[in-house]
Structure 1
């Protein structure tokens, strides 16, 4: 399906497109070298218990739901701005999901591990409390950051396995919604989803050892924070705001 014609603020879309293109080029290089490039001190093949493997598994699941929600809203509204955003998110996250599953194949590791708690790879390593030693500010003060959420306290429920993921009930509401109601619900759910994704990607930036995977995680943070700002503007234009 061809994407709808672009409409909206040129500056916003130009910035977002630049981030997406950067991710595509970075991701192509990552796929080519992830199996062998982990930096001089990193193991060539991560273990199944490593942050590298845990991030790849969990973010692949997280991304899959973003793709699903984006296709749902594209069928529920004719608004070109929201449909363009959904198209960009679906394409970007489907491609990134393929990269991460490809890395697990290259590493000879399972894509799913029974008995593994989601985001367990982030626990016990002070992933969210290391300040800004890598130049990333966890609390952005503009409504776009997750601000040090305690991921270890998150309990999966109603199909929501990780921080930010929508529940089955919320997905059913999105399937049933139409028009502006669908747009607002999608933007609110995707805002929560991106905040959880940013938290997880920042954890990988701190904990992952494979250089190309860390680079992709940094790209995810930049892209999703840009989309968070855009979604806040789209919600405001509809007389709505992100959920508390």
Structure 2
């Protein structure tokens, strides 16, 4: 039993990027081609840099001839390279390189990331129009739609920041595009880029406005308490 476990441990393991399993179909690989590539990876990690079709076939359910055809196809599709290697004695030999596979995987992964980012951004922008129409209680006018587009495309305001500016206008009781545009202008001028910064700036601004109104109210009260002297009655 112990010997069996030791033999199992000696077989080792291979590291397979999860991105390969989730993207191989999009990379135009089928299951047999993927399995063959995994076996090539296993051989490479164990020091066999140029496994023969027969060696690969022994681990699969296809013949050596089918392995040969599949290897040729993978080379033609740009997933495998056959490159020259040299031993310590300077003897030339051939070996497989999977660098093209990893390059294609990276490209596919980055493409997927870019696609997801675009779809997320598109959904956020769609939600943004819906939120504005809900707050205004009516469909947006062509001018308002154009203004929203300018905030996104020309001014490069994040949809989250635009939503925060809309919220500020609602809290302030000044629900109009001109006021929201002014908020966005002030935030950009003051380097406001995150929702946390926007909330903090909004609280400080409202606190300042409240203090200012209190001061104006006190000043008005003082003015009213000053006795009026009618010089004409003298």
TM range (shorter): under 0.3
**Greater RCO between the two (CA within 8 Å, min separation 6)?**
1
More helix by share: 2
Q: Please give the TM-score of this superposition, normalised by the length of structure 2.
A: 0.23
In our comparison, the structure showing a higher alpha carbon Rg is 2
The structure in which a higher percent of residues are strand is: 2
Question: TM-score normalized by structure 1?
Answer: 0.22
